Structure 1
Amino acid sequence: MPDACPDRAALLAARLAATRARSVTLTDGLSAEDMVVQSMPDASPVKWHLAHTTWFFETFVLGPHAGQPPHDPAWAYLFNSYYVAAGDRHPRPRRGLVTRPGVAEVLDWRAQVDRRLAAFLESGPAAEALDLIDLGIAHEQQHQELLLTDLKHLLAQNPLRYLLRPAGPGTDDRVPGGLPPLGWVEHPGGLVEVGHAGPGFAYDNEGPRHRVWLEPFALADRPVTCGEWLAFMADGGYATPSLWLSDGWAAVQAEGWRAPLYWRDAGDGDWRVFTLSGERRPDPAEPVAHVSQYEADAFARWAAGVHAGSSSPAGLGTRLPTEAEWETVAALRAPSGTFADAGRYHPAPLSGPSWYGEVWDWTASAYLPYPGFRTAAGAVGEYNGKFMSGQMVLRGGSCATPTGHVRPTYRNFFPPAARWQFSGLRLAR
């Protein structure tokens, strides 16, 4: 049955073409070697991201809804991620060993699938297929962010500190004085509704919309900055076990954490931070990035004055917000941060309130299903629900997130020790 809204197919076609082109543009300046190496088990090669997103459309759209066979059935084993119902998969930690098909072959495959998708959208597909293409666009945008974060981790392993992009405006070695003021948005608490209720696209884990009781609270109007994090470090934040959860302190000891990921002590406390535009001093006014949920929680405790004698920047019982608190306040604010489309790929210095963008905000909430949540049937149902254990929720978006990919109900999630994403925090009290 053809879709009743041909305009939707046309709009999706334009969005799909732009999204697919954007993924390839992100690889400008990379060598074939840059695109095949895997720096750690949690990261994937650039080539794999380009191939996996193509496999997604071929497997879930063109196969079942257009009756088109895959370009090479054997590639499904290489480029499936975690969809058990879609077949066996190559082990994730060994994706960097897959040198063939090569980068050129993957790009040719992408172009072929793009042409097939465009023709399929012109044929008047049913609403179910359009929904899957909508999901596929959002899925590819997620992988654009992962491509950047995984590539940053890879380039950081090279002692020569190669760049993805030359330094642009605001990305030089300047260290302006002063921190942006920290303001608070007060909320009276009470019974609130959270979760996606439409219209518009959302992942299944963003619903159903439901009611939550909140006690009175306040949420900071900007993320924690590098200047505040430097004060935490100088006050012994990484050496004070009373600030840390047990698992967090174990991670500090096992991993030797003394600063956020990508920070390097150049001597006498002269810290440098690696960015995709080169290494430089951390700007005190930019949001701190690449910290784990354990670190974020420890900072919030320190800021609350738990550590005797600490020079707290906030005080008054600061902590990490719950995801319901974050959503309730942020839902009334428009995005004002820096996103990936700016090409900066690093948090921008703040001069005042900032909502969405720059860094993902860790919350105190475990990633669990909302009341009434049901996974979709089939392999697509494995997209989010199967990970609702051992993960913590982040909200907002980052400087590596595509513009338009975020919304107040978006639930990102990672294990509490993860640091390679652009993850930061904003305080609550």
Structure 2
Amino acid sequence: MKSKSIQSCRETIYHDLQQCRRGTFQLFSGINYETFCRQAHPDFSPVGWHLGHIAYAEDLWLLQHCGGFKPVFPEYQKLFPADILPKKERVYLPTMAEVECYLGTVRKKVLDYLEIAPIEQQQRLWQFIIQHESQHCETVAFLLQMQEKESGRGKKESGSSATDSVTDVTDATPGRNQESGRGNQEEGIILMPNTQCLMPNSQFPIPNSQCPIPNSSVIEIPAGEFYMGSDAVEALDNERSRHLCYQEKYSIDRYPVTCSQYRNFMESDGYQNPQWWSADGWTWLQSHLVDRPLYWSENPAFNHPVCGVSWYEAEAYCNFIGQRLPTESEWEKAAIWDAENQTQRTYP
């Protein structure tokens, strides 16, 4: 039975590795070398670097550290690690065919090693490698969309070029500066009745734009204990360990704040009125001079959950409507806890 279980685990890992890789190649299908090498934003590496880094991580952790093999392509040991070259120097990349060869060579050796690897001891690492590739693909998808929008703007406006700054990515963000201090901390917003300002929540899935988003209704979460965190093999370090928490009764919006709702804050001079901002938030705003979320669209049909807001903007919006952001434990209990069956749900 034990050997069957181990073999089943190998098969699952094999399937997940291959399925993830198919999605990765779909992202890169049809892009040109200029797009492959271009740094679309100072905070991010070129998409081609992400592709090479995926291969580097597999080679480093699975083949070198676990298998004891030498680096597959020693010449890439400086280019593709995350902690050696500054992002702006990662634009000098091999050809797309060469990077794909790197990926293919590493993957073949990885699959060979999978047949003999001590999966019982390494399962978490194999899961991490799959998650690692998926996370980089999320970044690649974002960067490709950023470049596509900028390219579209260049076609519409005379004098624009493919090297315009990211400030010009969206054709409706004149009040937004690329040095807005957001870094990678952009968040969605979900609200609670106001008691005090707390920590921002995680990002939210974007609903189908064809479906109308209802006004946010409030639901009550009863007081009681629940299990927070996860010990599942897929769980990352910051999700561990699963532990029992007690949470007082509270109410929370059923849906994230939409662009339409956030627009009310903007049109009510929310960015100009210091009463909605904390002292630190107002200081931040005076330093960055923004009047809308990053990559904001003026198209009223774009009524997704608002994104591209900093902690200070989310805090100010909550003050404006008399609510607050949930704590981590409040958000997690509302999202995953099935009180009736006293168990965690995998998804909200």
Q: Which amino acid aligns with 2:277?
A: W
Other-structure match for 1:214: 247
| Identity among equivalent pairs (%) | 31
Q: How big is the shift at 1:65?
A: 2.5
Describe the SS at the equivalent of 1:218.
strand
Other-structure match for 1:24: 25
Map 1:103-114 onto structure 2 (within 5 A).
103-114=96-107
Please say which structure displays the higher CA radius of gyration: 2
Other-structure match for 2:109: 116
Map 1:168-207 onto structure 2 (within 5 A).
180-198=214-232, 200-207=233-240
Query: In 2, Cα distance between the equivalents of 1:161 and 1:13?
Result: 43
Please point out which of 329, 333, 344 is paired with 2:334: 329
Query: In 1, Cα distance between the equivalents of 2:213 and 2:127?
Result: 41
Residues 23 and 144, structure 1, Cα contact 8 Å, conserved in 2: yes
Q: Deviations over 1:265-299 (max 9, x none)?
A: xxxxxx2xxxxxxxxx1426421222222221211
Structure 1 spans left out of the alignment, 5+ residues? 83-88, 163-169, 265-270, 272-280, 305-317, 334-405, 409-429
Other-structure match for 2:178: none
Map 1:203-352 onto structure 2 (within 5 A).
203-263=236-296, 271=298, 281-283=299-301, 285-304=303-322, 318-332=323-337
Other-structure match for 2:8: 7
Q: How big is the shift at 1:234?
A: 0.6
CA 208–214 in structure 1, closer or farther in 2 if over 3 Å, else same: same
CA RMSD of aligned residues (A): 2.6
CA 120–292 in structure 1, closer or farther in 2 if over 3 Å, else same: same
Q: Deviations over 1:317-337 (max 9, x none)?
A: x1111110011011047xxxx
Q: How big is the shift at 1:251?
A: 3.4
Which deviates more from structure 2 when the two are superposed, residues 219-228 or residues 292-301? 292-301
CA 236–26 in structure 1, closer or farther in 2 if over 3 Å, else same: same
Query: In 2, Cα distance between the equivalents of 1:64 and 1:191?
Result: 41
Q: How big is the shift at 1:137?
A: 0.1
Residues 191 and 213, structure 1, Cα contact 8 Å, conserved in 2: yes
Map 1:111-190 onto structure 2 (within 5 A).
111-158=104-151, 159-160=153-154, 180-190=214-224
Residues 52 and 80, structure 1, Cα contact 8 Å, conserved in 2: yes
Describe the SS at the equivalent of 2:139.
helix
Q: How big is the shift at 1:103?
A: 2.1
Please point out which of 80, 85, 94 is paired with 1:90: 85
Other-structure match for 1:394: none
Q: How big is the shift at 1:62?
A: 0.9
Structure 1: which 4+ aligned runs deviate by more than 6 Å?
none
Query: In 2, Cα distance between the equivalents of 1:225 and 1:244?
Result: 20
Query: In 2, Cα distance between the equivalents of 1:260 and 1:125?
Result: 48
Query: In 2, Cα distance between the equivalents of 1:3 and 1:32?
Result: 45
Query: In 1, Cα distance between the equivalents of 2:54 and 2:283?
Result: 36
Describe the SS at the equivalent of 1:212.
strand
Answer 1 or 2: which has greater helix percent.
Answer: 2
Query: In 2, Cα distance between the equivalents of 1:195 and 1:154?
Result: 36
- TM-score norm. by structure 1 comes to 0.61
Q: Across the two proteins, how many residue pairs are aligned to each other?
A: 287
